[in-house]
Structure 1
Amino acid sequence: MTTRSTFSKKGETTDVDISSTTIRHYESRDNSDVLRMFTQCHIDLIIPAFRRALKQPSNISLLLVCGTVAYVITQSVMAVMLVMAVLAFVIYYACKMVYIDFIELMLNTEMADIEEHFLRPPGSCFWVAEANGKVIATAGLKKTYEKPQTCKLTRVFVDPHYRRSGLGRKMMQEVLGFIEHNGYKTCVLDTTVLQVAAINLYKKMGFRACGQISFPGNTCVIFLSQVYLLKFERHF
């Protein structure tokens, strides 16, 4: 059964026209658009992650120490610049691999069969927002078995052209309605520290921060990239 919610532009913060946008359950014909958005939204985080990583105390110390050692050994400013450039590239590569590895992992697991992981299990769902025949936003919800009556919100993405348009809030309202209808008492989610707009939206929708966890991946890569996940929850 497909549910639909149509909404207007009222309250938007941009001039993007979402008057014809429809929020509905995922269908198999959406697969290519959903995977494209999932992949691109993660790739878009690589450069912001690199910029943030360069400002982290651990990486600043690493650059300074290695630069100092290079100068002591060679007495050459060019050697210092070369060493620091190489280290900066290593940090960039670490940021890139964090997301590339995660994309590959998800494309080979839950995103490989969205219907199996999000639509068939009771109490789970996957939504898309569609405009002009194109998927422009997604959201997934799964029942968790770690705690009773708890679900996890995941795969919340909005096409860059439709951000700050009110679409994210509309998607969240659809999801929260489903959560309440299915009798969940708690909803949890995690998001990277880089996704400031998403974090602000979650807070506005009643979620509160409850900790942080390491991003899945190689320990050295995570250390250099300084990418971690913030945990949020909301009780109903």
Structure 2
Amino acid sequence: MAPFQIRRYQDQDWSTVRAIFAKGMIQLAVVNFRHLLKQPGTFLLLLGGPGALYLFSGSSLLSLLALLGLLAILWLAARHPFSHYINHALHTDMWDIRASYVNDRGSCFWVAESGGQVVGLVCARPAQGMLVGPNYAELLRLSVRPEHRGQGIAKTLTQTVLQFAREKGYDGVILVTASLNYPARRLYESLGFWKFHEAPYSPKWSLKTFSLIYYRYDLPHSS
């Protein structure tokens, strides 16, 4: 296992952390696509559509093209919510990271560094409109390079946010993740986060294939 260290974000990390975040999120689109293919309705569509076309046309090539076309449409549908999320993040808080997380004492941005390169990131800021009290921090953008996963980096980054919240006097930490992001959900639950809300995620032109899970970690107050 390669050693790593957690440090605060520096301006020269900008392009790297944006790339790690985008790549990590788009991998969830692949998970969503596989999930979509396992649905009974999708199976019937992929089997019935090209099959009916073959019966009417007698052309196996036309049926194959129809199948490939349907798969392409389903991939775009599975990818859309994640590309939408990535695009929004890269043009808002991840565009000016210093203004969003570094200059505010109640916020922070950390990176994990291994072998002289940034391999992971996470950030935190005051939570807004998250179904809890006003004094909670929100954990955001947790991402680790695929080749560096399984080394405890995501766990350490999450624990860094929890420690930051303690030091800043927050009542707790909340976060939101996709229901199909099972590795992340297992990590959060192993650290003591508990699910307190679930809501469907369905931006325009997206299939409702997953929901958003809201997690919460309450910090004890010292007497």
TM-score, length of structure 2 as denominator length: 0.85
Report how many aligned residue pairs link the two structures. Answer: 215
What are the superposed Cα offsets for residues 96-152 of structure 1, whole Å, 9 maximum, x if unpaired? 222222222111111001111112223111111112321111111110233311121
Report the CA distance between 1:175 and its aligned residue: 1.2
Counterpart-to-counterpart distance in 1, 2:32 and 2:161: 28
Aligned sequence identity (%): 28
8 A Cα contact 1:42 1:99, kept in partner = yes
Note if contact 1:102-1:216 (Cα within 8 Å) is conserved in structure 2. no
Letter in 2 for 1:100: S
Alpha-carbon distance change, 58 to 186 in structure 1, aligned in 2, over 3 angstroms? farther
Consecutive unaligned residues of structure 2, counting only runs of 5 or more, are none
User: Within 5 Å, which residues of 2 pair with 1:24-173?
Assistant: 24-63=7-46, 66=49, 70=53, 74=56, 76=58, 78=60, 82-146=65-129, 147-173=133-159
Pairing 1:230–2:216 present: no
Structure 1 residue runs without a partner (length 5+):
1-15
Query: For the residues of structure 1 that align with 2:114 and 2:212, how far apart are their CA atoms?
Result: 31
Paired residue type of 1:222:
L
SS of the residue 1:157 aligns to? strand
- Shift of the alpha carbon at 1:76? 4.4
| Segments of 4+ moved more than 6 angstroms | none
Whole-Å separation in 2 of the counterparts to 1:210 and 1:80: 46
- Relative to structure 1, is the Cα distance of residues 57 and 123 closer, same or farther in structure 2, using a 3 angstrom cutoff? farther
Q: Counterparts of 1:91 and 1:157 in 2: how far apart (Å)?
A: 26
Alpha carbons of 1:180 and 1:77: their partners in 2 closer, same or farther (altered >3 Å)? farther
SS at match of 2:206: helix
1:212 corresponding residue in structure 2: 198
Q: Is the 8 A contact 2:137 2:172 kept in 1?
A: yes
Instruction: Give the 3 Å change call, closer, same or farther, for CA 39–145 of structure 1 in structure 2.
Output: closer
Distance 1:122 1:33 in 2: 24
C-alpha distance in 1, partners of 2:127/2:38?
36
- Measure the CA separation in 2 of the matches of 1:208 and 1:143: 19
**Aligned partner of residue 87 in structure 1, secondary structure:** helix
CA RMSD in angstroms, aligned pairs only: 2.3
Alpha-carbon distance in structure 2 between the residues aligned to 1:112 and 1:188: 23
- Report SS of the residue matched to 1:44: helix
Matched residue SS, 1:164: coil
